[in-house]
Amino acid sequence: MDDEAAALDVNEIYVLYEGYSYIDPQDSVNSVRANCTCTLIKGRNNYNIIVDTMTPWDKDKILQALSEHNIKPEDIKIVVSTHGHSDHCGNNNLFTNAEYHIVGECISCKDKYLKHDFRIGNFHLTDDISIMPTPGHTLTCVTVLVENTNLAPLVAVCGDLFEKEEDIIDQKIWLDDGGSESPDMQRENRAKIAEMVDYIIPGHGKGFEVSNKYRDLLRVNAGLSEKDIERFLRDSS
């Protein structure tokens, strides 16, 4: 009972399905095999959020994984697709009880579209969960920032801003395999997110802790000085 009471004090984050991306040499056409990392955020006060709903062929996988957490599709309050690629929004239709569907920077419910200007600020879902614009992979990609979690004080569920942990060392993974509409913006946002958060759940791999070594690498790759990063943190606080 004590454990249960304590658990309510944090936002619980669970990876329902660990994504992947790789080139299959057997494929005869130029292609990549990929499916996204699908994440459940069991927010406090039953504020359940699902992030990135895999391909339209994965309905049963999602339903099964949710049921293991005692969640029915109608219990999901917010659906977030970090961007509109088909493996990140393929099962949004399961969650028609949700208050909002957020696909990239587009926030809607039924036929009502919210006008939120992400250039002015994040979209706050609760006092410790918000949606931040992180363009790069696509120009309207977003990241879900979750404070006070079971994994770390501040977690970024960031879609394809990071494909996987390995892409910090091997940039070909996010630049060529994943693809980027704006490599410059993506480099900058990768550095900023790494500076802000303790833990990252990437678009196509397992979650990882952000080390200072990673922060330095990403900052240098983005051509940012320590002062630039400090200024960014000041502006975003």
CB of 221 to Zn ion, least distance (A): 20
Residues 158-177 interacting with Zn ion (rule: CB under 5 A): 160
CB of 19 to Zn ion, least distance (A): 7
The span from the first CA to the last CA of the chain, in angstroms, equals 36
CB atoms within 10 A of CB 27: 10
Return the range that interacts with Zn ion (CB under 5 A); candidates 126-134, 140-148, 196-204, 205-213.
Answer: 196-204
Closest to Zn ion by CB, 58 vs 160, is: 160
Does residue number 205 form part of the binding site for Zn ion (CB under 5 A)? no
Q: How many helices (H) and strands (E) does the chain have?
A: 7, 15
Return the range that interacts with Zn ion (CB under 5 A); candidates 55-63, 72-80, 195-203, 219-227.
Answer: 195-203
CB of 83 to Zn ion, least distance (A): 7
Does residue number 203 form part of the binding site for Zn ion (CB under 5 A)? yes
Q: How many residues belong to the site for Zn ion (CB under 5 A)? A: 2
At 123, which helix (H) or strand (E)? strand 123-126
Longest dimension (CA), the chain: 56
Closest to Zn ion by CB, 42 vs 190, is: 190
The contacts found for 225-234 with CB under 8 angstroms, 24 or more apart, are: 229/191, 229/192, 229/195, 232/192, 232/195, 233/195, 233/196
The span from the CA of 223 to the CA of 191, in Å, is 10
Return the range that interacts with Zn ion (CB under 5 A); candidates 63-71, 127-135, 153-161, 221-229.
Answer: 153-161
- Return the SS3 of 70: coil
CB of 36 to Zn ion, least distance (A): 5
Return the range that interacts with Zn ion (CB under 5 A); candidates 42-50, 109-117, 128-136, 156-164.
Answer: 156-164
Does residue number 104 form part of the binding site for Zn ion (CB under 5 A)? no
Closest to Zn ion by CB, 90 vs 203, is: 203
H helical segments located in the chain? 2-7, 59-67, 86-89, 172, 183-196, 212-221, 226-236
CB of 155 to Zn ion, least distance (A): 19
The span from the CA of 75 to the CA of 78, in Å, is 9
Return the range that interacts with Zn ion (CB under 5 A); candidates 24-32, 56-64, 199-207, 225-233.
Answer: 199-207
- Contacts to Zn ion by CB under 5 A: 160, 203
